[in-house]
């Protein structure tokens, strides 16, 4: 049997191991926040954001950010139906209602027109998810938010390295959130980041992130409110510091892999890959192929073909409204259609040219192409 090709795995070098070992050996007592502070500072600088808080997950960052905006029972939060459950879960946990809207057929991100018609008196926020590294139309979404007095927040879990008009994904909305899960371009194993330009919002989230203990509170073990426990560990942050030193290499490699697939596949009629419109840079977290409907290629065909070649591939995200926890939203036609004829391709840092050729070969094997 041919050697297995995984769809993702992290790039961990001696630098990460050295920093992690140092955090384990010395990062206690007065030094227990050293790598966390360093990671937050480095991430702020990279992103161009005034404030950053390292968290245990992107989900936790989103939860605290929405809570700090006052999202609660009877509120509504608009988001794309094409999403991972982690984007909707914090909305539900806060007692609010996720309002799922359809996506654009080219970017697979929020359709601004559908967003605007879905706004009600209960709408408290709009979550713009940059799916697979593709960018939402932030100009239009921010305009909608401004005209209606609704904050637009960015789920940039998958968009590290993506840029729109010289602004990095995650740094354009009221706040942004990032994931450093083991599958992501930059990883801390598990982990995330909350970022914002808003000092008051930052202070509220900072308090929430530490069991409700305010930054200036002088009384020991005195929480000013009931908060959360979404803090990143110093050891995780040490790994993050090393990864951040390599960020240009990590993102650059992702873009090289995407370019390889694009060069060899876009010449075929009837399929498309992650878009990169003018004035944007796609961070290329997850190369994805969508087949035209007329070709008759299905998700099940694709998964079976890759499995036969001992290659891991991921299905395109199911629409959240198709899950048993939510009510179906049948009018979200694009979000329901694309997953049936799309596939995520292997794109880990150390994938070889021969391995990528094997991946391309599976797609080329379809006679319709």
CB 94 within 8 A of CB 70: no
Predicted confidence (pLDDT) per residue in 342-360, tens digit: 999 999 999 999 999 999 9
172 and 260 inside one domain: no
Residue 368's pLDDT is what? 52
Identify the three-state secondary structure at position 367. Answer: coil
Q: How far apart are CA 100 and CA 319, in angstroms?
A: 9
152 and 23 inside one domain: yes
Residue 5's pLDDT is what? 97
Tokens coding 18 = 């050295």
Domain boundary, last residue among 226, 245, 264: 245
Q: Is residue 147 part of a domain?
A: yes
Residue 369's pLDDT is what? 52
Length of the chain: 369
Q: Is residue 369 part of a domain?
A: no
Predicted confidence (pLDDT) per residue in 219-241, tens digit: 989 999 999 999 999 999 999 99
Q: Is residue 1 part of a domain?
A: no
Residue 215 has φ and ψ, to the nearest 5°, of -60, -40
CATH number at residue 153: 3.40.640.10
237 and 265 inside one domain: no
Helices 234-245 and 247-265, axial angle in degrees (round to 10): 60
Q: Is residue 7 part of a domain?
A: no
Total number of domains in the chain: 2
183 and 98 inside one domain: yes
Picking from 225, 196, 157, the residue whose alpha carbon sits closest to that of residue 40 is 196
CB 99 within 8 A of CB 78: yes
Q: How far apart are CA 208 and CA 201, in angstroms?
A: 11
Q: How far apart are CA 202 and CA 211, in angstroms?
A: 15
71 and 83 inside one domain: yes
Identify the three-state secondary structure at position 142. Answer: helix
Q: How far apart are CA 163 and CA 39, in angstroms?
A: 21
Those residues whose C-beta lies under 8 Å from the C-beta of residue 226, and which sit 6 or more positions away, are 211, 212
Tokens coding 96 = 């609010």
Sheet holding 97-101, edge to edge: 51-55, 192-196, 176-179, 152-155, 123-129, 76-80, 97-101
Domain boundary, last residue among 245, 261, 279: 245
- Give pLDDT tens digits along the chain (369 positions): 799 999 999 999 999 999 999 999 999 999 999 999 999 999 999 999 999 999 999 999 999 999 999 999 999 999 999 999 999 999 999 999 999 999 999 999 999 999 999 999 999 999 999 999 999 999 999 999 999 999 999 999 999 999 999 999 999 999 999 999 999 999 999 999 999 999 999 999 999 999 999 888 889 899 999 999 999 999 999 999 999 999 999 999 999 999 999 999 988 989 999 999 999 999 999 999 999 999 999 999 999 999 999 999 999 999 999 999 999 999 999 999 999 999 999 999 999 999 999 999 999 987 555
Picking from 232, 212, 204, 193, the residue whose alpha carbon sits closest to that of residue 67 is 204
Residue ranges making up the domain that contains 332? 247-364
CATH number at residue 253: 3.90.1150.10
CB 176 within 8 A of CB 153: yes
135 and 267 inside one domain: no
Q: How far apart are CA 33 and CA 75, in angstroms?
A: 36
256 and 238 inside one domain: no
Domain boundary, last residue among 192, 215, 245: 245
Q: What is the pTM of this model?
A: 0.96
Report strand pairing: 314-315 vs 280-281.
unpaired
DSSP string, 40-96: HHHHHHHHT-SEEEEES-HHHHHHHHHHHTT--TT-EEEEESBS-HHHHHHHHHTT-
45 and 108 inside one domain: yes
167 and 265 inside one domain: no
Q: Is residue 63 part of a domain?
A: yes
Q: Is residue 240 part of a domain?
A: yes
Q: Is residue 5 part of a domain?
A: no
236 and 328 inside one domain: no
Picking from 176, 162, 171, 170, the residue whose alpha carbon sits closest to that of residue 279 is 162
277 and 237 inside one domain: no
120 and 50 inside one domain: yes
């Amino acid at each position: 049997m041919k050697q297995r090709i995984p769809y993702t795995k992290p790039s961990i070098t001696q630098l990460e191991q050295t920093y992690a070992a140092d955090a384990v050996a010395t990062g206690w007592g007065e030094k227990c926040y050293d790598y966390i502070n360093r990671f937050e500072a480095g991430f702020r600088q990279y992103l161009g954001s005034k404030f950053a808080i390292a968290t245990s997950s992107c989900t936790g960052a989103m939860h605290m950010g929405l809570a700090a905006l006052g999202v609660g029972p009877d509120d509504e939060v608009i988001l794309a139906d094409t999403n991972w459950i982690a984007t909707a879960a914090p909305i539900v946990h806060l007692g609010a209602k996720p309002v799922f809207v359809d996506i654009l057929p080219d970017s697979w991100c929020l359709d601004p027109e559908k967003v605007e018609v879905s706004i009600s008196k209960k709408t408290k926020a709009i979550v713009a998810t940059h799916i697979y590294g593709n960018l939402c139309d932030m100009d239009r979404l921010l305009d909608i938010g401004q005209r209606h007095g609704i904050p637009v927040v960015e789920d940039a879990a998958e968009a590290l390295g993506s840029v729109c008009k010289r602004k990095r994904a995650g740094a354009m909305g009221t706040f942004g959130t990032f994931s450093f899960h083991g599958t992501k371009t930059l990883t801390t194993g598990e982990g995330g980041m909350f970022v914002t330009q808003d000092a008051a919002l930052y202070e509220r989230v900072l308090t929430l992130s530490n069991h409700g203990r305010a930054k200036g509170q002088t009384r020991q073990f005195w929480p000013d409110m009931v908060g959360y426990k979404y803090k990143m560990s110093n050891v995780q942050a040490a790994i993050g510091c090393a990864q951040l030193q390599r960020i240009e290499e990590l993102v650059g490699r992702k873009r090289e892999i995407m370019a390889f697939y694009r060069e060899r596949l876009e010449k075929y009629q009837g399929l498309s890959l992650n878009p990169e419109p003018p004035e944007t840079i796609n961070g290329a977290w997850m190369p994805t192929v969508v087949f035209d409907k007329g070709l008759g290629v299905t998700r099940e065909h694709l998964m079976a073909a890759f499995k036969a070649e001992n290659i891991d591939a991921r299905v395109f995200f199911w629409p959240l409204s198709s899950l048993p926890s939510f009510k179906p939203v049948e009018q979200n036609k694009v979000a329901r259609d694309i997953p049936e004829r799309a596939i995520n391709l292997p794109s880990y840092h150390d994938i070889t040219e021969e391995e990528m050729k094997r991946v391309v070969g599976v797609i080329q094997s379809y006679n319709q192409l």
